[in-house]
Structure 1
Amino acid sequence: MNEYAEKFNEYQEQQEQQPFVIDDDGKADWALRKIKHAQDKKEELSNFVQAEMDKLEQYQAQEQKKLDDEIERMQGYLSTYAMQKRENDPKFKSQSLPHGRIKFVKQQPKYHYDDKVLLESLKKAERSDLIKIKEAPDKATLKKVFVPNDGKLIDPDTGEVVDGVTIEEREEAFKVEVDK
């Protein structure tokens, strides 16, 4: 190994041992460029993956549609078969076969609600016991009306502490903004 190669290896070892420090505007701007480059790569990766996922989802939907159609067609054939069995034997309810079961199942009635009309009807009938009322504090207005003081919320008119609220003061947050 020649002298320059040895010096270069020594220099590399020194660089690896010393942590990188930003100590001037040039290095700070370099770090911002590195962040911007990484953000651009992340966005590029995300766009690529999303495009591939869109293709795969489209393929999946297409194939599932074919399979759903096949399932529906087979269920139609089985339904016709079961109806024929019921015509021959009015007491027919179900039959087990080697790969499954066909059966008629009693269903519960399905209710369809028009909430506005129903609510008015219950109010007219004075059935408030059947009406849900949801109560919740108006937090945005609370912040405007009451005053924060020493981690608590104070009613400025009475000086009383408002129970159920604690205020956590937080330090400044460091943020890096990279130009687009």
Structure 2
Amino acid sequence: MNKLQEQELFELETQQQEERKVFVITDLNGLNWAFRKMSAIQAKLNEVKQLADAERERIAEWEKKESASYQDDLAYFSHKISEYHASVLANDPKAKSIKTPYGVAKSTTSKSQPEKADEQALIEYSKTNELDFVEVETKEKLKWAELKKTLSVVESDGELVVVDADGQVVPGVAVKPETVSFKVEVSD
């Protein structure tokens, strides 16, 4: 903000509210006067915003620095709780959650499921078996979501494989293994 803009703001601040209510622009000089005031106000707003942005940045850096070790501590304890819960779950598969007055450790298990490994092999499989899981726009594209609904994961010779409704092994599909994930919720 320059000195002229500071003077414009000073004049504006000293102007009485009553004068402001009756102010009317009647000519080019009045219009110019209003634009000078607006220019000064805009310059002041820009200064305020710059200062606020600088302070927000400084506060964000402070918050990041202050929080870092606490975030590490939370991750450490979450890991330890998950390890403990995994050991309890290994001994008691029904222990899906463990509650204390200060929080809950939860686990979720996702079943083994088909996972697309080779789209071209799946397209060939669909064509060979006359299945309607291939769409042709500019090039052939597999309707994976629809095909996946018809597949199952079964154990064959001690190994998990993906089969279709007829029990035929489907090429180009891998088995995404069962996973267990843990979640820690701390009470407020």
Please classify the TM superposition score into its range, dividing by the shorter chain length. 0.3 to 0.5
The structure with the greater share of residues assigned to strand is 2
Which structure carries more relative contact order (alpha carbon 8 Å, separation 6+)? 2
TM-score by length of 2: 0.44
